[in-house]
Amino acid sequence: MRPSKAQTRLRILEAAFSLFWRQGFLRVSMDDIAARAGITKRALYQHFPSKDDLMAATLEHSSKLAIERMRAFSRSGEPGRLIDAFFADLSKWASTPRWSGSGFTRVVMELADLRGHPARAIARNHKAEVERWLAGALIAAGVSASRSREHAREIMLLMEGAMALMLIHADRTYTKTAARVAKRLIGSR
């Protein structure tokens, strides 16, 4: 049976995701993606007219999956437990083979000189959504609504810093340090 357009599109997105996160967005060619997806380059271009369109669609797809995963993340308990779970999840993610940090951060760095690129806007929106989720999770855990937004921003800085330093030093204990600092910031030890 021949796969539907939706199935082929999903296969392309999954192939692109795998290659982009492993090799970087700019180093992957449309030929690489077509080969990984098991389709012709012509078929790939029927679904995505350009690599930029494919990058944007891949990031949007990845963002939806990540946000769904975060929404399923426990919001119960006190703030310290939320912080510990958040950074433990980051540490677990960093332990996966060939982990290369946040693709959303990486794409913005790779496309730093292309300010209007649609992938940058998607990455920015994703990070803002994570920050909003975190602020809501902090409120649900008992942090005052008036401080939750600022604390979410501080925790985002700690998360991004921990990811960068884990990549540099190959040391996942940066997540424990980040969690400890985040708990101090929100007054939960």
- What single DSSP character describes residue 95? T
C-alpha distances in Å from residue 52, one per residue of 14, 75, 175 = 16, 36, 33
What's the confidence (pLDDT) of residue 3? Answer: 78
Superfamily name with CATH number, domain 52-186:
Tetracycline Repressor, domain 2 (1.10.357.10)
What's the confidence (pLDDT) of residue 159? Answer: 97
Distance CA 161, CA 6 (A): 37
Asked, colleague to colleague, whether 1-49 and 52-186 share their fold, the answer is: no
Residue 132 and residue 50 in contact, taking contact as beta carbons nearer than 8 Å: no
Residue 154 and residue 92 in contact, taking contact as beta carbons nearer than 8 Å: no
Tell me if the domain spanning 1-49 has CATH number 1.10.490.10. no
Residue 26 and residue 52 in contact, taking contact as beta carbons nearer than 8 Å: no
Tokens matching residue 185? 């910031």
The residues of the chain scoring below 50 in pLDDT are none
- What single DSSP character describes residue 189? -
Sorted by where each begins, the domain ranges of the chain are: 1-49, 52-186
Q: In degrees, to the nearest 5, what angle opens at C-alpha 111 toward C-alphas 70 and 102? A: 25
Provide the whole-model pTM: 0.89
What's the confidence (pLDDT) of residue 33? Answer: 98
Distance CA 101, CA 51 (A): 22
What's the confidence (pLDDT) of residue 74? Answer: 61
Tokens matching residue 188? 């939960």
